C-alpha cells in the first residue's frame, strides 16, 4: 500500500498538515491569556510586589530592594506589633508606604525625644536609626 493510501485510510494522520501550526499558536495564546488572568487574580487578592523607594527602614530594607507583601494576612486578621506593613500614603494615594507597626488599636503611643513608649514601656528597637 502506498503512503497516500495509508494516509487516506488512517484518520490519525491529518490530511492538512498546515492545521497543526495554527492550533499550536492558538494553544500558546490561550495559555498566555490563562496565565495572565491567574497572575492578575493572585496580584489582586493575595500578593503584591513593591520596590523600596527610601532609606527609612535601613538596615532592615535597603533602597532598591524588592519585596512581596501578602494581602491574606490582613484579610483574615489585624496587623500585629512588629509587622512590616504596606499602605497608601493618605495625602498621596498613588504612593505606597512600607513601615513597621509600633502600635495596634487600643495601644497608647508616646514619643519623648527620640524614644518611643508603647503603653508606658520603652520600645527596644536596635534596628531603628535616627537621623539629625
Q: Which residues are identified as catalytic? A: 56, 99
Which grid coordinates are listed for 72?
Answer: 491574606
Q: What Å distances lie between residue 11 and 6, 8, 14, 82, 119, CA to CA? A: 9, 7, 7, 66, 79
CB hemisphere CA count around 5 (13 angstroms): 2
Amino acid at each position: 500500500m502506498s503512503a497516500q493510501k495509508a494516509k487516506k485510510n488512517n484518520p490519525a494522520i491529518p490530511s492538512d498538515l498546515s492545521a497543526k501550526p495554527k492550533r499550536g499558536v492558538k494553544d500558546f495564546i490561550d495559555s498566555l491569556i490563562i496565565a495572565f488572568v491567574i497572575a492578575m487574580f493572585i496580584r489582586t487578592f493575595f500578593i503584591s510586589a513593591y520596590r523600596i523607594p527610601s532609606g527609612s527602614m535601613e538596615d532592615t530594607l535597603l533602597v532598591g530592594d524588592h519585596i512581596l507583601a501578602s494581602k491574606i494576612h490582613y484579610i483574615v486578621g489585624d496587623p500585629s506589633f512588629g509587622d512590616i506593613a504596606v499602605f497608601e500614603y493618605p495625602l498621596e494615594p498613588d504612593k505606597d508606604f512600607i513601615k513597621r507597626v509600633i502600635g495596634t488599636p487600643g495601644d497608647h503611643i508616646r514619643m519623648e525625644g527620640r524614644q518611643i513608649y508603647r503603653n508606658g514601656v520603652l520600645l527596644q528597637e536596635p534596628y531603628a536609626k535616627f537621623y539629625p
